Amino acid sequence: MILLIKVLRTLSAYLIIGAFIGLPFAVLLPFIRRSSYAFRVWYAIDVFICTVAHGTENRTISGWTGEHINNSTRYRIQAQVIDFILRQTGDAPNHCKRAYEWELREGKIS
């Protein structure tokens, strides 16, 4: 039960921070796959949220989550939620794991 509360707390923090920052840019979401501008804006919002929530630098929520999948049940559950949501939008499976691997290759993880 405590684990579920922690997962919900973290996901809620992402949503609350995202609502304040991302709401004005919500109109860009339908164009995120076709417009590099829309993608860059939402990527920056994602990095900002992860920075506020976890104190990271140049990391995304998905990459942070993917890094901790094997170390924490909390992040494994969180990854399942994120992966499920993004699969519904047409993304490939294992989004969080792929995001972590990309950030590792790009040198975003110190």
Q: How far apart are CA 15 and CA 20, in angstroms?
A: 9
Q: How would residue 110 be classed by pLDDT, with cut points 50, 70 and 90?
A: confident
With respect to residue 24, please indicate whether it lies within any of the assigned structural domains. yes
Q: Nearest to residue 97, comparing CAs of 74, 73, 79?
A: 79
pTM, 2 dp: 0.82
With respect to residue 28, please indicate whether it lies within any of the assigned structural domains. yes
What angle in degrees, to the nearest 10, is found between the helix axes of 73-88 and 95-105? Answer: 100
With respect to residue 85, please indicate whether it lies within any of the assigned structural domains. yes
Q: Nearest to residue 46, comparing CAs of 61, 56, 28?
A: 61
User: Is pLDDT above 90 for 24?
Assistant: no
What 3-state class would DSSP assign to 12?
helix
Q: How many domains does the chain contain in total?
A: 1
The predicted model gives 59-87 an average pLDDT of 94
With respect to residue 110, please indicate whether it lies within any of the assigned structural domains. no
